Amino acid sequence: MPSSSHRARRSKATAPDALMLFGATGDLALRMLYPSLYFLDASDLLPDGMRVIGAARSDLEQDAFRQMVRHALDARADGGVSEAAWARFAARLAYVSFDASQPESFQALARTLEGASRTIFYLSTSPGLFGPICTGIKAAGLAHAGSRMVVEKPIGRDLKSCQAINDVLADAFSEDRIFRVDHYLGKEAVQNLLALRFANTLFEPLWNKSAIDHVQITVAETVGVEGRWDYYDNYGALRDMVQNHLLQLLSLVAMEPPASLEPDSVRNEKIKVLQSLRPIHGRDVERCTVRAQYAAGVADGRAVPSYADEAGGAAGPGTSSQTETFVALMAHVDNWRWAGTPFYLRTGKRLPERSSEIVIQFREVPHSIFSGSDLVANRLTIRLQPEEDIALTLMNKTPSLEHGGMELTPLSLNLSLSHAFKDKRPRRIAYERLLLEVIHDNQTLFVHRDEQETAWRWVDAIRTAWDRQAVKLASYGAGTWGPAGAFALIERHGHSWAD
């Protein structure tokens, strides 16, 4: 990210005059986007005069729209909504009823946006509407040089469909106007990874295959598919989580130091990592990946049905869906820094706890002089969720007067970020950071087209190999850490998951 003075200079010239949100009555808008915009406004971080215009199919009166937004804020703001901040925020709000298939709808948008030349268009709709909306915006003459296009996932279901969407976007907006959201990049702890790696001299000399034995990245959720069955069943964990969030985390861990925090610097380094990922195809998928679906079990202290029995829509309970809700895999980054150091990735729904963490497992000492104790190799654990902690495990002498040897114990140096910064406002929503970066026209925390397409290429190879090799879908009980195969995957190489 640029320095604050740089940012201030840039923001004056580019401050947006409107944010137009497509999908204005949708779940993401209500749960994340309005609350984030409100919190930014309450912290005096929204540009003066920037309107927030909702666009959706429903026929809503202006007052009804404001009421809907207010309810969303009440549901989200633990400490209550400040009436003064609400009055200011409400004055920014407007609603247009909009149907992407109707050219007149775009004329209505143009009238609403009259005089605006730096509009942020935010597509929080189904991807099927990305094309018609972009084309309509362009045809209505609204894609001004100062405007920005923000797009939510899923951007495609594979490389081909991703390219098709990106082509449509590129037809209306140049790449430096397109902000592809991966909300993990807005998480404080994810950004802290950059600080940890590049604001300390301690780690960088050790950050390579010589000192690091392997890396583990786990994103575990306790929730099931929560009413999103129709979407999820068409995607599965590989497309829903690995293609984006887990590969973003992997890139940030594995990338070379960028020359600066400018968007191209950081994103180019991440692209190089993705390009270095060894393709997993053919029979390798059986050795390097595990896919599974949850069966009934106990999660969050209550009995929960199997994925198949949660099925909604046309499928209905008891479906024989083959969609994976869990993936574990072993990846290799084939470059000088990482050759020979495996990266184990794991994500799943209905696991025993909600936790996301990155474990950097250092190598064992080459020779132990402590014959009486087993040495535990150093480990750096970067916990992203639910709490942000960093722990470095080191070997220590156990206090005692024994002679003829020393007894040793592993202990952790712990850094609890929530504790260290307890005076700061409780954790910000990732979207606050992301919206602020769009407002400041800074793409560092957004995904470049090349990054996204390279990630799809890698994921597509796995998907294709799963189909060709007819890789069996394993089963795991809800509330467990996945199928036996996920343990075998890592243990076969002499490692084990750091649970």
- Give, as ranges, the residues between 311 and 370 that touch ligand BG6 (CB under 6 A): none
Specify the residue, 221 or 441, whose C-beta has the smaller distance to ligand BG6: 221
Give me the 167-206 binding string for ligand BG6, x by CB under 6 A, dash otherwise. Answer: ----------------------------------------
* CA nearest to 250, candidates 279, 222, 276, 221: 276
Residue 389 as a binder of ligand BG6 (CB under 6 A): the answer is: no
Q: Closest-CB residue for ligand BG6?
A: 240
Residue with tokens 């202990």: 411
Q: Which of 240, 310, 388, 432 touches ligand BG6 by CB under 6 A?
A: 240
For 142, 175, 194, 218, 451, the CA distances from 206, given in Å and listed in that order, are: 50, 35, 15, 22, 26
Peptide bond into 386 cis (omega under 30): yes
Q: Minimum CB separation from ligand BG6 for residue 126, in Å?
A: 13
Say if CB 18 and CB 137 are below 8 A apart.
no
- Closest to ligand BG6 by CB, 191 vs 385, is 385
Which amino acid, one-letter code, is at 111?
R
CB of 280 to ligand BG6, least distance (A): 22
**Phi and psi of 121, rounded to 5°?**
-95, 130
Given the residues 245, 332, 440, 493, the one annotated as active site: 245
State which residue, 385 or 454, has the beta carbon closest to ligand BG6. 385
Give which of 120, 123, 125 is closest to 144, Cα–Cα.
120
Choosing from 221, 324, 357, 460, the residue that interacts with ligand BG6 (CB under 6 A) is 221
Number of residues that bind ligand BG6 (CB under 6 A): 3
Least Cβ distance, residue 348 to ligand BG6 (angstroms) = 11
| Token duo for residue 62 | 């202006």
- Compute the distance between CA of residue 155 and CA of residue 166 in angstroms, rounded to an integer: 8
Residues, the chain, total? Answer: 499
CA 458/CA 422 separation, integer angstroms: 40
Residues 358, 249 contacting (CB under 8 angstroms): yes
CA-to-CA distance for 307 and 350, rounded, in angstroms? 9
Token digits for 486? 């996920």
d(CA 418, CA 415): 9
Assess contact for 456 and 243: CB atoms under 8 A. Answer: yes
Q: Give the shortest CB-234-to-ligand BG6 separation in angstroms.
A: 12
Token duo for residue 257 = 């130091």
Provide the minimum distance between the beta carbon of 370 and ligand BG6 in the complex, in angstroms, as a whole number: 40
Of 240 and 432, which CB lies nearer to ligand BG6 in the complex structure? Answer: 240
- Minimum CB distance to ligand BG6 smaller for 240 or for 453: 240
Residue 325, number of CB atoms within 10 A of its CB: 30
User: Which lies closer to ligand BG6 via its Cβ, residue 283 or residue 354?
Assistant: 354
- Exposed/middle/buried for residue 229 (C-beta within 10 Å: 0-12, 13-18, 19+): buried
Taking the complex as a whole, how short is the minimal distance between the CB of residue 469 and ligand BG6, in angstroms?
Answer: 26
Question: Least Å distance between CB 325 and ligand BG6?
Answer: 10
User: Of the two residues 148 and 153, which places its CB atom closer to ligand BG6 in the complex?
Assistant: 153
6 counts as catalytic: no
d(CA 329, CA 327): 7
Active site residues: 245
Q: Give residues in contact with ligand BG6 (CB under 6 A).
A: 221, 240, 385
